[in-house]
Structure 1
């Protein structure tokens, strides 16, 4: 059966939202979670006087399809009654048969009055996912370009987020009215059948029927008149836990309000800003309007209204002033004159003069606001270079700026000598130069010069002034010259040139790679391989890298397992090994010129078969806060123990080896503690044949 939107009453605004959703598959559940997470079920609940409402969603189209076809199961576990925990929790399957979307024929009445129901029904039951209105294929070309399953998932999730009744029809919502105020519950939601490859098909919610749901008041709500429209903005992301969409209301008297939007106002994608905006057309210029918003959550609950804001629109200036003349009186004084179109003058409230050292700004104000009849300004503090703009202010609170105009007194003083010239040459002959910027306001740029000898004439590398303070050159490394020399000169807008910078000498890099390092010996310590090598004999080393691959498995590429800039280091312990496996190791050194040595001869090592021993039993911890210590004790009767390894971590950290203890002791006193900290200890035994015991750990609140 095909379901066409033309049989339903769908607003133009909603159609526009749905067009956007075609390009945003999976957006629907962003109202439940804006972060990207692994595929899973997401469960929310709402408590009222009559019971508990449950709403769930999925973060993946495959899970969504499985829920449509196989349904969901809701279980209620009674955890507490009259304040007394129930040790053997009472479990009741609330759904009977798995919850699925209701049959298509039962949607008909709801579809006729609910746009979101039409969207959800089309996504779930439509033979082909088509979106039409009034017989025109307005969206067909867009829809058919995307994956149909992505579209169904995105449309369905968006629709059920906007209406709890639609969510129930779509098999993604449930009302439990048989709850008791003296009990507490755990609701477990799971897929009736998990799709292949997924293992996160369940989720839970803890519910106290006495804690009724409450919604906060929207905040940071503001209204602006901008670009011939009213722009309303408010905080969105911070209230995402509470609201899935909003309604905007407008009033002409600040008392009686009417809704402005026809479709829910919501974000259709994650953005860098936490707020949301809505643009409303201006009914009438010069009139004052009041606005407020209301949030709606996943359970059709409407929150309290926001604070009311007001805004008024005036016609904006369409043109700006034009500077027509700049007269230089002296090296410090100039007069600026401008004009403004007569047909726009009725909107003016005044002018302002702005100045900057650069054409692109930033500009600063030079005067108090000038009368709208003023058309000239005298400035008495000219710099070597000046840019001026005139700003016209309108009755609507807007403004228009003139184009910037430069005013420059006579200048015959050259820029200062450039400083801070540094550079590098890489192994391909590419040169990177950097220097400090000059501070002259009328600086035009720099000239870069190069020579093979400081006694020879320098050659210009730039045909025109270079604007930045970074420059890239290339030199021939196949030469008998050992050095190359550079200088920088600065020039201003009047073509005055500075003295050359101090000469920079750069050494040409060598093209000879380092000698190869060589493995010297190795030792197997249980599941650890200890490697020892003789480093490269070349000078100027910068790095050593160990590579590894597994032999006889078809693995062709080597994997980097260790890298160090300590070129004197000559040993490494590989603890990330598997039993009964043949590994090959090689070692490479890198020189200052960036060249790598040839790999060392490969070293092959076969790890022994690993014998897993039982874990250490009876691991205990005793806290003594007076002595500021934790005493750990254990029992282990397996023969052949070489040592015990004790690991430790804090709640925020990860386990690291804390102590290695002899096999004959059975307790340890830890005094390296911080009060009010939760510690975890882990322990395993290392046997003389290289085997290890299973891991055992314990948590301690100190």
Structure 2
């Protein structure tokens, strides 16, 4: 660097500091998106540029209380643009001295990638071309980073000078995105993938050393909408060879940080009225600019557009026509009143009678928007008249339309007032919202409810409220505490609640806070994730070749079916035995069993959402050997000996092989059959010692047990002692 360049840069810096002492320049910083619990770790690579500046603690600074930077991320074209701002002067010094770390987090996969681990200001040599062409933004950033200004020796004054230098450096970065990137305050990510959503984590490289918090940006992705609104409220007024221009910037403050005003003499060829863009320095968010008019014979046209932090250029506003005027004042509106006729308004304005000699005639023009376009709404009005009647316009939205009074002078000049708002009375509430539809999607234990409805046709619509109730008969409550303008809403419900339906309505609200009647109720069935209660197998009977089961069905109201399952032990697989879809069947006889086998049975209930109950407690049953046909005739005789109190039983059996023994059962009077004797297989008689009562029946049953283990059928006889 040459001495002349250094002197030039110091001169620029001192000039800015002097100007900074005269005006208060409000620098708007991006709001930090979120706080991260763990600060970004600083890298250990050495910094190539030494810095011997003294670090002064700023009054009231608490480094750990908030993120050390604010960040703004935006999709422009096929790249993602990042701009960050240190939130305090000390953080600014840490940044250009130690650098920043930029990480990217994939919102869907949570993958975290370091985009740049050492974002630093460009070397001093790279700044030389911009310094040579005396670029203000680059010069002030260079002076703040690489030069050692001669600060005041008094500590407090030096601290204030450092803060001023910090503010002017950030202003230079705000005015030129490329300069911000040169200073290590911006970055372009060209590796983002279409369709993915990202968040960026920005932190100081020395975060761990100074206990600084990183900042997380809002979500951003390629293809995000990039609205660039036009500046709607742009107006002007002519004085003596001066055009006073006014622009309300509150509605576009979050989009633009600087503005460009252009002028044209023919309405086609425009040129900027300043080599530098304009910035808003007041708290009213109003840009006020004066421009000298070279001729009072030309009608000049002005237009304005905004520029973003990334130097994107917004659309132009509507043209404002201004012609240098004489000292004649512009008439002023006095009142706009209703009449007995709803289709007629009375408009009055004020103007000195002595000035009527310069006026040829008046005319009223109107528009539904403040910025126009305006069209005639009255006939030609004589110069001596200060009142006329107009038909009200239908507002584009709300209740307000706008009028202007055009004053035509005799020498051919035209004067016009600023747009005057006319607010109409409105006693009608919004119409009932229509077309409410919705669906519920299951997401774990939550239900995501998506609602939509048709837009209301009301021009004065303010927004909507969505109401919900969880049971029929309950009162509705509001889902959204603040009104919404869109015609969709997402709600969340818990699916584990024992409710089957949820009810929604929509109510519209106009600008005067009048409410419509509720829409027709939308009833949505809630996905059922609650299983039905379990059935209970309460009884069973094992008989020859059959197993009888009885169960108590599930008591849940939404049960659709029961399924009976069987498993033959020791097989581990259950097989579906029976499906019951009615509410009456609660028993089943299994005739497909094998002898001398173990079977397990259970029952499962299913509801209409196919939720399964817990299986009924299984029962494990064993089948006996099955009864076989044996060549076995019957009892052949039964001899009663009353003296010895015996009964001799004999029987015939033609099959002599494979019989292991005979089983004899007896039923005493009024008793059940019971086994009383087991005799060898070659026996054909047996004597029962029993005292028989007269006129009482004694029942005997015999059956054979085969060597394989199964039993034959039985034969019986009944004996009765006669007196």
TM-score w.r.t. structure 2 length?
0.40
Bigger Cα Rg: 2
TM-score w.r.t. structure 1 length?
0.41
